[in-house]
Structure 1
Amino acid sequence: MDLTQILRPEAVRVVSAVSSKKRLFHDLGESASACHGLPAAEVTEALLDREGLGPTGFGNGVALPHARLRQLDHVVGLFLRLEKPLDFDAVDRQPVDLVFALIAPDAPGVDHLKALALVSRTLRNGSTCAKLRANTDPATLYAILTETHAHQAA
């Protein structure tokens, strides 16, 4: 699995500020609708439901919210770089500014686990996160995310 298989260039955005986690999930739902044709309200609700099980902020300013939808047949991703970090109840209590959301099929299989592992590995790389934080152009952010994985795979 490769990040280019789950993340499209148009699914990468820079957001100046969001007021809450709920608002962030609403924005992710809208992005999923625009980029992948998914029902925005269902994506938002699925992300909120999953977050209710436990926070998906895994530390160092990074969050990996994820959810499942029955109408999908493959994993899709959305990436947001927040210009103003958001309190996310992360494990290290640090606010989040890098958000990579994954929406997976609601069917048995390991693709969602592979995607979570891939994104987690990518965003645990301090150098990659520093580059993402130093840039505000969505095309550059997409290149950093997808290029990093290509180098790791080589």
Structure 2
Amino acid sequence: MNVIDLLNPAAVRVISGASSKKRLMHDLAETAASAYGVDNHQTVEALMERESLGPTGVGHGVALPHARLRGLERVVGSFILLERPIDFEAVDRQPVDIVFGLFAPEDAGVEHLKALALVSRTLRDAGFCNKLRANPDPGKLFTILTEVAPVQAA
């Protein structure tokens, strides 16, 4: 599995106006709805429900919100680069500006976990994240994200 298997060009956005975690979840859901046809309301609810179990801000300005959704046939992703970082209750208490949302079918098993691990390993690379931050254009971001070589498990 590679990032290109998860991401659609229409699911990559740069946002300047996210003022809160909740607003970001709405933006993430809207992005997924337009790119994959998922239900916007259901997506926001699923993201917020997952977030209530524990924050998905993994540190170093990166968040990996994820949820299982009715109607999906495969695991898909949405990427948002925030022009202004926001508080996301991340594990390191640092604000978040890189957000990769993952959405899986309700009955997805190991594929959901593989996708989460892939994205997590990819965004653990500080140099890669800096490259993303330096290219605030959705087309360039899509290219950077999908050209990344598969990262092997540590």
Give the TM-score range, shorter chain: over 0.9
Residue 73 of structure 1: CA displacement?
Answer: 1.5
Q: Is 1:132 equivalent to 2:126 in the alignment?
A: no
* TM-score, with structure 2 as normaliser: 0.95
Aligned to 2:79: 79
Mapped contact 2:64–2:102 kept (Cα < 8 A): yes
Task: Trace 1:44-63 onto structure 2 (pairs within 5 A).
Answer: 44-63=44-63
More displaced, 24-33 or 47-56?
A: 24-33
Amino acid at match of 1:75: V
1:104-147 Cα distance to aligned partner (Å, 9 max, x none): 01105200000000000110011110100111111111111111
Distance verdict in 2 for CA 1:108–1:14, change over 3 Å: closer
After superposition, the C-alpha distances for 1:5-26 in whole angstroms (9 at most, x for unaligned) are 1101111000012111111111
Structure 1 CA distance for aligned equivalents of residues 58 and 81 of structure 2: 15
Partner SS, residue 121 of structure 1? helix
* Structure 2 unaligned spans of 5+: none
Runs of 4+ that moved beyond 2 A: none
What's the offset of the Cα at 1:149? 2.8
Name the CA distance, whole Å, in 2 between partners of 1:18 and 1:113: 28
CA contact (8 A) 2:2 2:149 kept: yes
* Secondary structure at 2:149 match in 1: helix
Kindly provide the amino acid, as one letter, of the partner of residue 5 in structure 1: D
Q: TM-score by structure 1 length?
A: 0.95
C-alpha distance in 2 between matches for 1:108 and 1:41 = 20
Query: For residues 54 and 139 of structure 1, do their structure 2 counterparts lie closer, same or farther at Cα, with a shift above 3 Å needed?
Result: same
2:3–2:148 Cα contact (<8 Å) kept: no
| Rounded Cα–Cα distance in structure 2 between residues aligned with 1:66 and 1:18 | 18
Equivalent residue letter for 2:19: S
SS in 2 for 1:67: strand
CA distance 1:73–1:85, shift in 2 (3 Å): same
Residue 105 (1) aligns with residue 105 (2) = yes
Partners of 2:12 and 2:70 in 1: how far apart? 23
SS at match of 2:148: helix
Distance 1:80 1:45 in 2: 18
* Equivalent position of 2:33 in the other structure: 33
Letter in 2 for 1:40: N
Q: Distance in 2 between matches of 1:75 and 1:123?
A: 18
